[in-house]
């Protein structure tokens, strides 16, 4: 049989699709955001800003990655004994009592991670403008910019928003081509009444702290009226006849990623002033250019083309196109844009040396973020990393890897409290890196395998990079996690090593009591989720030792232990 070279097939396929081109990396709308999740966010990995794209009143949300309330971790005394009791109840098949006992003797409703919090809201209010003839907004993912355009009969108004990566500031520019320019006011606010906002001649300084003794921060906002007349009146900056305005924001905190409980002693005001001075000297054009260069170089590392959308559909706004797809329409370019939006979020929401991307990224308008906006290790943080290495953004995986390694002290403290060996972690964590069973429902809080799942990324990354230096740095937590697995998994009546009590996060099973009443429960021994992660954790430790040429007593034990963790079974219904 004659074989066709693969390259020939590729070239033939390319010829068939010679006219096809990847979709523009843009999200568009012709209406303002009604809720913040419809806003367009920009970020440089440390700083974030989100535009609601409203007119004639605009709201800009200003964020910094490390502004967190302090966590409130209250372990329940006697939890180790409670876990043993729950395990025995599960082994006897009394799952309802096991659930009740876990809630009463192990789980702590008083424990909670600190919420990710915002760094200020900038209000922009225009006055006296003529009726608009058109309104549109756009997120340009390729160049890292959010934009709003308003047209009038005799001119236009445009706003542009970037998070400059090198200069490390937020920049918001407004230009107006109306004959007399436009009039507007700017003001800065924060929902925490304890925050202090101090007006200056050309802006404001906002000083605050995360709740419960959390992160101390300062946000300095400076307005440069390039063409217009400005005056500060009772904390409100009033600008008349404005044709060009540049607003710069820099936020610094006292967060110490190496030792979260030892805040940095830096003068936040000096740090902000240095950044804003450099940004002022650079001006809008250079800030825009450095942002565009940074994003385009990374966004263009990976392109996808699965076909072309008809021009009549491609010209519609993103919400309109989403609605067409909901109704069964075909829009391959929209799929491509969604793919690239995921990559854009990776670049915007973290960077080398920064914290990893949390549950909802950098963008948050609230003091109490949805699900606290922290780092969920029962899948969400992992999901945020999945597109990184495989789409040319491997360096954006590294912040999560460094974060995982840094969790070892807190995870070992947790394991000791439970009278277990090694390192383990509950389902979420904030920037303070402490842990305990938290939340109101065992179905998401009862798992102890979250640390194992997070540690799996250390080997996943190594398989892409071959970075033995980082693998060596990761070995202590991989070994500590292996020790935990071998203390947590215990022999059942068949001589197998199984976990318990635990849960497959956010899953339940149905149990019927003696009266025939059915209950949704979640706590059991030896669930497939635990078995898979336990096996993977030991395999990864064995592989790491082999790659590094290391032989340890823990390695010898892991090799003997691994074959006795059962493979997940197939249920009677095929699951």
How distant is the alpha carbon of residue 262 from its chain centre?
24
Was domain 26-68+116-299 assigned CATH 3.40.1280.10? no
Averaged pLDDT score across all residues of the chain? 94
The answer to whether residues 535 and 548 touch, using CB atoms and an 8 Å cutoff, is no
Structure tokens at 239: 């600008």
In this prediction, residue 81 carries a pLDDT of 98
Q: What are phi and psi of 475, to 5 degrees?
A: -60, -40
Per-residue model confidence (pLDDT) at position 440: 81
Question: Sorting pLDDT into bands at 50, 70 and 90, what band is 19?
Answer: low
Partnered with residue 51 across adjacent β-strands are 40, 60
Enter the tokens of residue 104: 């009463």
Tokens coding 157: 């108004």
Fold of 79-110+374-564: Glycosyltransferase (1.50.10)
Please give the DSSP secondary-structure letter assigned to residue 563: G
Dist CA 368 CA 152 (whole Å): 39
Name the phi and psi angles at 302, rounded to 5: -140, 120
The pLDDT of residue 355:
97
Residue 123 has pLDDT above 50, yes or no: yes
**pLDDT computed for residue 456 by the predictor:** 98
**Residue 294: φ, ψ to 5°:** -60, -50
Q: Which two tokens stand for residue 171?
A: 């920049």
Phi, psi at 481, each rounded to 5°: -65, -40
pLDDT attached to residue 466 = 97
For residue 182, give the nearest of 134, 238, 123 by alpha carbon: 238
What confidence score (pLDDT) does residue 102 get?
Answer: 97
Average pLDDT of 228-234?
A: 96
Instruction: Provide mean pLDDT across the span 332-348.
Output: 97
User: Taken in order 474, 352, 65, 31, is the CA torsion positive or negative?
Assistant: negative
CA 452 – CA 402 distance, rounded (Å): 15
- pLDDT above 70 (res 268): yes
User: What mean pLDDT comes out for the span 424-450?
Assistant: 94
Percent of the residues in the chain that have a pLDDT greater than 90, as a whole number:
91
CA distance 222 to 306: 45
Bridge partners of residue 108, in order along the sequence: 438
Decide if 444 contacts 505 (C-beta within 8 A): yes
pLDDT for 569: 84
Residue 151 has pLDDT above 50, yes or no: yes
Distance between CA atoms of 105 and 100, rounded to whole angstroms?
Answer: 9
Q: What are the distances in angstroms from CA 363 to CA 41, 233, 287?
A: 7, 30, 21
Q: pLDDT tens digits, residue range 499-520?
A: 989 999 999 999 988 888 999 9
Task: Place 20 in a pLDDT band, splitting at 50, 70 and 90.
Answer: low
pLDDT at 5 exceeding the cut of 80: no
Residue 187 phi/psi, 5° resolution?
-150, 150
pLDDT interval class at 571 (50, 70, 90): confident
Domain boundaries, the chain: 26-68+116-299, 79-110+374-564
How many Å apart are CA 255 and CA 253, to the nearest integer? 6
Mind listing the pLDDT tens digit for each residue in 170-213? Answer: 999 999 999 999 999 999 999 999 999 999 999 999 999 999 99
Residue partners of 368: CB distance under 8 A and separation at least 6: 115, 117
Residue 252: pLDDT over 50: yes
| DSSP reduced 3-state for 336 | helix
Predicted confidence (pLDDT) at residue 9 exceeds the cutoff of 70:
no
Rounded to a whole number, what is the largest CA-CA distance in the chain? 85
Query: Is residue 3 scored above 70 in pLDDT?
Result: no
Which position has the token pair 């608009």?
Answer: 132
In this prediction, residue 155 carries a pLDDT of 97
DSSP state of 266: -
Cα separation of 402 and 404, whole Å? 5
């Amino acid at each position: 049989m004659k074989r066709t070279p693969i390259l020939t097939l590729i070239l033939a396929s390319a010829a068939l699709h010679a006219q096809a081109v990847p979709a523009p990396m843009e999200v568009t709308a012709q209406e303002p955001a009604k809720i913040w999740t419809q806003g367009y966010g920009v970020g440089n990995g440390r700083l974030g800003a989100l535009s609601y794209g409203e007119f004639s009143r605009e709201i800009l949300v200003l964020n910094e990655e490390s502004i967190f309330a302090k966590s409130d971790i209250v372990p329940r005394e006697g939890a180790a004994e409670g876990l043993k009791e729950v395990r025995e109840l599960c082994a006897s098949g009394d799952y309802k009592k096991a659930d009740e006992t876990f809630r009463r003797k192990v789980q702590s409703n008083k424990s909670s991670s600190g919420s990710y919090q915002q760094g200020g809201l900038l209000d922009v209010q225009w006055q006296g403008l003529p009726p608009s003839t058109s309104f549109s907004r756009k997120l340009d993912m390729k160049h890292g910019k959010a934009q709003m355009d308003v047209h009038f009969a005799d001119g236009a108004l445009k706003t542009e928003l970037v998070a400059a990566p090198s200069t490390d500031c937020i920049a918001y520019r407004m230009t107006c081509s109306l004959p007399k320019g436009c009039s507007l006011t700017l003001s800065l606010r924060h929902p925490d009444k304890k925050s202090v906002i101090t007006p200056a001649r050309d802006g404001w300084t906002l000083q605050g702290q995360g709740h419960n003794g959390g992160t101390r921060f300062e946000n300095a906002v400076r307005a440069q009226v390039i063409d217009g007349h400005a005056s500060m009146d009772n904390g409100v900056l009033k600008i008349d006849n404005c044709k060009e305005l540049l607003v710069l924001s820099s936020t610094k905190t006292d967060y110490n990623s190496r030792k979260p409980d030892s805040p940095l002693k830096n003068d936040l005001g000096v740090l902000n002033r240095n950044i804003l001075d450099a940004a002022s000297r650079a001006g809008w054009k250079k800030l825009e250019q450095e942002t565009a260069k940074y994003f385009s170089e990374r966004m263009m590392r990976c392109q996808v083309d699965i076909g072309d959308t008809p021009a009549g559909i491609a010209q519609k706004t993103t919400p309109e196109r989403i609605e067409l797809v909901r109704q069964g329409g075909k829009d391959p370019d929209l799929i491509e844009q969604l793919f690239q939006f995921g990559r854009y979020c990776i670049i915007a929401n973290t960077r080398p040396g920064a914290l990893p991307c949390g549950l909802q990224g950098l963008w948050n308008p609230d003091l109490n973020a949805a699900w606290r906006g922290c780092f969920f290790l029962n899948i969400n943080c992992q999901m945020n990393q999945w597109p990184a290495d495989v789409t040319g953004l491997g360096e954006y995986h590294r912040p999560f890897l460094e974060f995982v390694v840094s969790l070892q002290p807190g995870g070992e403290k947790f394991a000791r409290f439970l009278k277990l060996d090694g390192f383990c972690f509950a389902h979420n964590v904030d920037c303070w890196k402490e842990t305990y069973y938290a939340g109101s429902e065992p179905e998401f809080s009862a798992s102890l395998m979250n640390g194992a799942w997070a540690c799996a990324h250390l080997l996943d990354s190594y398989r892409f990079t071959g970075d033995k230096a980082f693998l060596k740095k990761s070995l202590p937590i991989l070994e500590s996690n292996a020790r935990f697995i071998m203390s947590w998994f215990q022999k059942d009546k068949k001589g197998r090593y199984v976990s318990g009590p635990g849960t497959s996060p956010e899953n339940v099973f149905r149990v019927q009591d003696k009266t025939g009443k059915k209950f949704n429960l979640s706590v059991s021994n030896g669930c497939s989720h635990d078995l898979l992660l336990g096996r993977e954790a030991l395999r990864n430790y064995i592989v790491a030792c082999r790659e590094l040429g290391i032989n340890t007593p823990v390695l010898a034990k892991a090799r003997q232990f691994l074959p006795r963790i059962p493979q997940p079974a197939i249920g009677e219904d095929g699951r």
